[in-house]
Structure 1
Amino acid sequence: MSATRRQILARTGATAAGIAFTGAVSELFTGTAAAATAARESAPGRGGYGPLVPDPDGLLDLPEGFRYTVLSREGEPLRSGEGLVPGSHDGMAAFAGHRGRVHLVRNHENHADARIPVPAVPGITYDPMGRGGCTAIEMDGRNNVLGERVAIAGTAVNCAGGPTPWGTWLTCEETEAKAGTDGYTKDHGYIFEVDGDDPRRTGAVPLTAMGRFAHEAIAVDPGSGIVYETEDAFEKPFGLFYRFLPRKPRGGIGSLRAGGELEAMRVPGVPDLSVVQEAGATFDRVEWVPVPDPSAKETGIRFQDFGRRGITHAQKLEGCYWGGSAVYFVSSFAQRAIGSAADHFGQVWRYEPGRRRLTLVIVFGPDTDVQLPGESPDNICLAPSGGLMVCEDGGGAQHVLGVTRHGEVYAMARGAQNIGTPDRPEWGEFAGVTFAPDGGTMYVNCYKPGTTFAVTGPWH
């Protein structure tokens, strides 16, 4: 999420566009592009929750009947007294706590020059010069905040991640910076395990066997314990899609420290996923190739030699989650102008391990109105209804989109905090969309200004 499509468009002189939706996720919803386009903003009938109502407080526009609570804002004091709430709110997940409580673990994608760092706390700080990390918010069943504290510190550019089946968060560093760069005293580009209930149980230990690269997100297969990982790279060579085979596949806190094998996906005959343009395109001979040097001591992984047959790359691999019997992952966009083999405005892929099958299930394409939802999908999660919630990270207005089981795309939320000027408004992207364990609350972050919302209402 460090380089958004908005920034790339500005560099290349391209014009932002609205997005239409085609394709279907067979396990979650079915539908047509026409149905999706017709449901854009108003989402009549069973799809969505109706038009968005402008927020008089200028923070978050929601459908009628829904309301939000601001749980946390950057610059406010942490309730733990450890310092200020850091900014750059990014990936996030919600976990069930004791006595009906909920723990939110939230990433802070802070670079070395971040204005408000994640405060260093003894025992859970990796590199004292790292300014990123995670904070944890504890709430009761009514979203009243009971506590807020640092969950890990001293990391860098904590972008997304993902939950584990045993109730911890894997936070991912989206950087390849080594010690001595930007003032860091240790190498960065790792995954760290974080326990939002008791951060000292996990500490600040890099899971080095899972690779050192610009991580974005992960998803864990609850049956096999295999961890799938995305790499966010917007310049050539583009990122890879990985799987990590843990030595202790049954999991548990600290189990990933035991190591394992890291592999990268090869789709025979497809060196760049952007060339695949048709929703429903399927590849039945997916291969997994061992990564020569997961630690990237001398050469970044995506630059390494994977042999005569090569490896499959994709631009801006971002969101990743497990649903049903498959892992889904997002390519946020691709542009020929910056090296991709073809252009697209967003793809969602499904990989079925049992069949070794890869399918392009969602494609986003140009439309006419940038104010309509649906540009550059980023963080993504399953909704309690069985559909999807997708965070936008593009140009123009920023939305949380819903995609119903019936194939309708609708706007669930729209950012109202103008971070530009009255003449040239701009809105921060959404990130970290997730649901409470009981499905009754949607939590989501505004990246800038860093704001965490709890959204309640008449969920289907």
Structure 2
Amino acid sequence: MSVSRRGFLGLAATTLAFGGLSQACARTGVDYVNQIVGYGDLKPDPAGIFDLPEGFSYKVVSEFGQPMDDGLLTPGRMDGMGCFPAGPGRVALVRNHEIYPADLERSAFGADGALAAKVAADRVFDVRNGKPFAGGTSNLVWDLRAQKLVSHHMSLAGTMLNCAGGVTPRNTWLTCEETTQRAGTQGTRDHGWVFEVPANAKGLVEPLPIKAMGRFRHEATATDPRTGIVYLTEDMADGLFYRYLPNDPDRLLAGGRLQALGLKARDLDIRNWKEPSWRVGDWQETVWIDIEDPESPGDDLRMQGKAKGAVLLARGEGLFFGNGEVFIACTSGGPANHCQILRYVPSPHEGKAGEKDQPGRLQLFVEPNHPDILSMADNIAVAPWGHLFVCEDKGLGQNQLKAVTPKGEVYTVGRNAEPAGMVKPVNTELAGACFSPDGSTLFLNLYSPGKTLAITGPWKSLRA
């Protein structure tokens, strides 16, 4: 596929931005000044929750332990999340909860699991010692005008480690298990699947795994609304990037074909760990490799793909489809493991015979050379105005919400606050960034113990 003038200018600017930064760092040793102003300096939050620029504010939509409309408790460990229209002035959120099976203290069922009696057995995917696995999803409805919570309830129960996922054109959310736990380990069923949850679900959905999408350590999905093809990341240091070609784009459970991404330049290690050979701005033509036995009882899909020439990603995590492109966050990519962001442009004949003559293309879009610029990129989302919002998951240190312009310039949007009396800021990853369809509100999760924020402000007044 030929690169448009707009894409070429973006590529050139990206290369200049990060190349110029390298020169500045070499001169000063400490002055990492490529970051642009964005919305201005962050102001300390008096409540000690989340710092934002002047003119921005947040409301707490939901928090861990809060009673929900179904009699259950709001689960913690809030991870990936999608936003959907839900009538005039309202949106629906579908939110993941990345919880281990036995961690009932963070579950919807209470520390003793007693609230599980409120859940029908046929609406629970798996159980441990008679109690539902603690992971799953919750659905919320938020009134954008009144800035208040309308309703909230559990929508998927009995799964584990629901990490990220992705929205679909059918107003559903694909939620992904980041595990390959086998039946008999803690529960009765194999795990490592993708499940589909409607945004308008009124209660718990029937938990049906989409097994043709593969069994591996799933992280996120992104669906191309033009083709119905679903792209998937795998959170492993030697993970692959997959696509699912559904037999029926409106019925993902009807089966399909799973493939892994390869490059025509087969000797290129895009992780850039040992001898970096892939430069920011470079493009590579791609090929797609068939994966056999996607249910993978031996958890060997990435090994199978690697043997056939699939390219390895350094912990593929966040994934988002925007403006005809798929953005991929690789959390530990780059020479210093700060992270990478890749950009995939599908073929005009994606998944069809003509793809061989006009293949898709993969670009190294961002590879920061210092953690102050961007570090450990995780969940990502494209804003309505085209900037890529990036949630950091540093593990240690103050996680920030960053944004990247189409030119590859980085600016800071928010950060975990430093509550009064605490020596260090709240140490939790940021997750679940997603915008309301009208662009007025950014929803964001503070992962643990768990808060969902609705952030509003002068989004159109970007000073960059």
**TM-score bucket of the superposed structures, by smaller chain:** 0.7 to 0.9
Q: How does 1:27-176 map to 2 (within 5 A)?
A: 32-33=17-18, 34=20, 37-38=32-33, 40=35, 43-44=36-37, 48-81=38-71, 83-114=72-103, 115-119=105-109, 120=116, 121-122=119-120, 123-129=122-128, 130-142=133-145, 143-176=147-180
CA contact (8 A) 1:221 1:322 kept: yes
SS of alignment partner, residue 171 of structure 1 = strand
| Comparing 296-305 and 66-75, the one that deviates more | 296-305
Distance in structure 2 (CA, Å) of the matches to 1:28 and 1:324 = 18
After TM superposition, give the deviation of residue 76 of structure 1 in Å.
Answer: 1.7
| Comparing 381-390 and 270-279, the one that deviates more | 270-279
2:271 to 266, 270, 274: 274
After TM superposition, give the deviation of residue 455 of structure 1 in Å.
Answer: 0.4
Give structure 2 stretches of 5+ with no counterpart: 1-6, 23-31, 110-115, 348-358
1:262 to 258, 261, 274: 258
Q: How does 1:181-260 map to 2 (within 5 A)?
A: 181=185, 183-198=186-201, 202-234=205-237, 238-249=238-249, 251=250, 255-260=251-256
Structure-2 change in CA distance of 1:178 and 1:65 (3 Å): same
After TM superposition, give the deviation of residue 383 of structure 1 in Å.
Answer: 1.2
Distance in structure 2 (CA, Å) of the matches to 1:277 and 1:125 = 46
Corresponding residue for 1:8?
Answer: none
Distance in structure 2 (CA, Å) of the matches to 1:171 and 1:283 = 30
Structure-2 change in CA distance of 1:63 and 1:407 (3 Å): same
SS of alignment partner, residue 304 of structure 1 = helix
Matched, 1:333 2:332: yes
Letter in 2 for 1:218: T
After TM superposition, give the deviation of residue 361 of structure 1 in Å.
Answer: 1.2
Corresponding residue for 1:18?
Answer: none
CA contact (8 A) 2:138 2:152 kept: yes
Structure-2 change in CA distance of 1:75 and 1:25 (3 Å): farther
Q: Give CA deviations for 1:275-334 in whole Å, capped at 9, x if unaligned.
A: 3441012212x1111112210113431233665x53221221001111222212111114
Corresponding residue for 1:291?
Answer: 291
Structure-2 change in CA distance of 1:199 and 1:281 (3 Å): farther
Alignment TM-score, normalising by the size of structure 1: 0.83
Structure-2 change in CA distance of 1:406 and 1:283 (3 Å): closer
1:345 to 324, 338, 349: 338
Distance in structure 1 (CA, Å) of the matches to 2:299 and 2:76 = 31
State the superposition RMSD in angstroms.
Answer: 2.6
CA contact (8 A) 1:125 1:154 kept: yes
Percent identical among aligned pairs is 40
Corresponding residue for 1:414?
Answer: 415
Letter in 2 for 1:364: P
After TM superposition, give the deviation of residue 359 of structure 1 in Å.
Answer: 1.2
Distance in structure 1 (CA, Å) of the matches to 2:206 and 2:11 = 37
After TM superposition, give the deviation of residue 271 of structure 1 in Å.
Answer: 6.1
Matched, 1:432 2:428: no
Structure-2 change in CA distance of 1:404 and 1:350 (3 Å): closer
CA contact (8 A) 1:277 1:363 kept: no
SS of alignment partner, residue 330 of structure 1 = strand
SS of alignment partner, residue 26 of structure 1 = helix
| Comparing 321-330 and 265-274, the one that deviates more | 265-274
Letter in 1 for 2:40: G
Give structure 1 stretches of 5+ with no counterpart: 1-22, 336-341
Structure-2 change in CA distance of 1:191 and 1:28 (3 Å): farther
After TM superposition, give the deviation of residue 201 of structure 1 in Å.
Answer: 8.8
Matched, 1:304 2:304: yes
Letter in 1 for 2:53: P
Q: How does 1:315-334 map to 2 (within 5 A)?
A: 315-334=314-333
Letter in 1 for 2:73: L
SS of alignment partner, residue 69 of structure 2 = coil
Alignment TM-score, normalising by the size of structure 2: 0.82
2:366 to 357, 362, 368: 362
CA contact (8 A) 1:418 1:427 kept: no
Letter in 2 for 1:133: G
Corresponding residue for 2:351?
Answer: none
After TM superposition, give the deviation of residue 385 of structure 1 in Å.
Answer: 2.0
Q: Give CA deviations for 1:168-219 in whole Å, capped at 9, x if unaligned.
A: 00000000001111x2111110000001212569521000000000000011
Greater RCO (CA < 8 Å, at least 6 residues apart):
1
Corresponding residue for 1:397?
Answer: 398
CA contact (8 A) 1:124 1:151 kept: no
Structure-2 change in CA distance of 1:306 and 1:404 (3 Å): closer
